[in-house]
Amino acid sequence: MILDRYFARRFAKVFGAIFAIFVVILTFLGLADNLRRYGSDAGSFRDILDLALLDAPNGVYQILPLIVIIASISMFLGLARSSELVVTRAAGRSGLRLLVAPLVVAVLIGAIGVALLNPVVAATSRAFESKVASLDGGGSVLSLSSSGLWLRQGDADGQTVIHAARTNLSGTTLWDATFLTFDPDGMPQSRIEANIAVLNDGKWTLNGVKSWPLDTEATPEAEATQMTSTTISSSLTADQIRNNFGTPSSISIWDLPAFIKRLQSAGFSAQRHIVWFQMELSQPLFLGAMMLIGAAFTMRPQRGGKVGLNVMSAIMLAFTIYFIRNFAQILGENGDVPAALAAWAPPLAAAGVALGILLQREDG
């Protein structure tokens, strides 16, 4: 038990130090990138620093597997140099047994990352996107709520807020749609309801229409008109509508199941978000597999030039599995494989490969 606590504490300290180093590095890289992007235009240094700080958590969260494997390699190389591994084995502790404590720590890091760091990353990602939009002079055109889909379009002539009960997969066909138009001063002009609204060629084509004027002193219902069809000009495109959902990483894992239900109720495909949800759930297992891969190549006494070769082999294997995991995620998002298989197969395969290498090296 004392040895377990020692190895767990040792791994946690190494991980914490490397994590802090990467936070600083990514913050400075983000600062340099944003200085180049906004330094001579719209943002003050405070705005640019805010962007770098808001983007750093997302960058660090994405490279957690890399941090874990570097921490694993660093710890076991240190233990091998100090002969602590030899002493531990001489005391009767097998190599596989001493991996239990670091493995538990790696899995806990993954669980804490998913439960606590994921919501932080989601919040900072939304704040980052909002900050970038304000500096670029743009804004989000889409919002999804329990009441349906909300869109916004605008130009020099005013703004139009659009609400629909549901839509198709591309967001270009709306059912039970309501259009509220406003002039450039923000005063309401009209309310238009349509059974179906279709976006094409820079305009909305509405069918089954009823319109109420809101810019007169008369009662809107008294002035209401009904039409079979009409058109409303639009600055929106199908790509704008799809892209403004944001990435799944900008939604907290605690809110993701409800968001998926709203997405499906609105008529959109939620496959991308379902795959991301499963990928997040499998993150602790993946980080545990990364720790085992680092240990598999570095927990034996290192001799001569084999140190560099073993470290390179561990990192190359980790990157290979990381890219396989990303490829599986793409297959899952495209619907080629089930979401659970795309998310859980690579971590399980990585753990199996690492255990196989460990058993071969430990027991020959």
Complete domains list, the chain, with CATH? 2-136+262-363 (no CATH), 143-243 (2.60.450)
Evaluate whether 177 touches 194 at the Cβ level (below 8 Å).
yes
**H helices present in the chain, as ranges:** 2-38, 45-62, 64-81, 84-90, 95-98, 100-112, 118-136, 238-243, 256-266, 271-281, 283-298, 306-333, 339-363
What pLDDT is stored for residue 279 in this prediction?
A: 95
Q: How far is CA 220 from CA 188, 189, 191, 195, in A?
A: 12, 11, 9, 20
Return the axis-axis angle of helices 100-112 and 2-38, rounded to nearest 10°: 40
Quick: pLDDT tens for 65-109: 999 999 999 998 888 788 777 777 777 667 677 888 899 999 999
Residue 18 has which token pair?
Answer: 């490397």
Quick: pLDDT tens for 317-363: 999 999 999 999 999 988 899 999 999 999 999 999 999 988 887 65
How many angstroms separate the CA atoms of 26 and 58, rounded? Answer: 10
* Chain mean pLDDT for the chain: 84
pTM of the entire predicted model: 0.75
What pLDDT is stored for residue 148 in this prediction?
A: 72
Evaluate whether 234 touches 204 at the Cβ level (below 8 Å).
yes
Interval 128-140 mean pLDDT: 64
Quick: pLDDT tens for 329-342: 999 988 899 999 99
Interval 40-67 mean pLDDT: 84
- At 185 the three-state DSSP class reads coil
